[in-house]
Amino acid sequence: MKRALLTLVAVILPMTLTAQASLLLYDGFDYASGTLTGSNGGAGFSSTWLTSGAGGTTVATPGYTYTDTLGNELQTAGGYVSISGTSSGGAYRNFSAITAAAGTTTSYWVSVLMDTTGAPYGASSDTSIIQLRTSGFANLVSVGAFGTNASFRMRAVSGDAATTIYSTTSGVANSSNLSLIVLRIDVNTLSNGADAIYMWVNPDLNAEPSTGSAAAAITGTNFWNDGEFSLTNIRAGVENAGTAEAKGLNLDEFRMGTDYASVLVSIPEPAHLALWSTSALIMGIYLRRRRYSL
Q: Average pLDDT, stretch 196-219?
A: 96
All structural domains of the chain, each given as residue ranges with its CATH number in brackets, are 1-21+268-294 (no CATH), 23-258 (2.60.120)
Contacts of 30 (CB under 8 A, 6+ apart): 41, 42, 63, 77, 78, 79
Residue 19 is predicted with a pLDDT of 44
**Rg of the Cα atoms in the chain:** 21
Q: Average pLDDT, stretch 269-273?
A: 41
Contacts 24+ apart (CB under 8 A), 265-268: 265/19, 265/20, 265/23, 265/74, 265/75, 266/19, 266/68, 266/72, 266/73, 266/74, 266/75, 266/205, 266/206, 267/72, 267/73, 267/74, 267/75, 268/72
Lowest mean pLDDT among 24-33, 184-193, 264-273: 264-273
Residue 122 is predicted with a pLDDT of 66
pLDDT surpassing 90 at residue 210: yes
Q: Is the pTM of this model over 0.85?
A: no
pLDDT tens per residue across span 1-12: 444 443 333 333
Residue 240 is predicted with a pLDDT of 59
pLDDT surpassing 60 at residue 194: yes
Residue 69 is predicted with a pLDDT of 94
* Distance from C-alpha of 233 to C-alpha of 133, rounded to nearest angstrom: 7
pLDDT tens per residue across span 22-78: 999 999 999 999 999 999 999 999 999 999 988 889 999 999 999 999 999 999 999
Q: Looking only at Cα atoms, what is the longest distance across the chain?
A: 77
Residue 124 is predicted with a pLDDT of 67
pLDDT tens per residue across span 81-104: 999 887 888 999 999 999 999 999
In the predicted model, what is the mean pLDDT of the chain? 83
At 150, the pLDDT band (50, 70, 90 cuts) reads confident
pLDDT surpassing 70 at residue 18: no
Residue 285 is predicted with a pLDDT of 46
At 294, the pLDDT band (50, 70, 90 cuts) reads low
Q: Average pLDDT, stretch 117-144?
A: 85
Q: Average pLDDT, stretch 141-156?
A: 89
Q: 90 and 52 in contact (C-beta within 8 Å)?
A: yes
List strand residue ranges (DSSP E) for 147-288, in order: 149-157, 164-166, 179-188, 195-201, 216-221, 229-237, 247-257, 266-267
Q: Average pLDDT, stretch 105-127?
A: 85
The continuous run of DSSP H or E covering 292 comes out as helix 270-293
Residue 152 is predicted with a pLDDT of 93
Residue 192 is predicted with a pLDDT of 86
Cα angle value 214/215/219 (rounded, 5°)? 65
Residue 59 is predicted with a pLDDT of 97
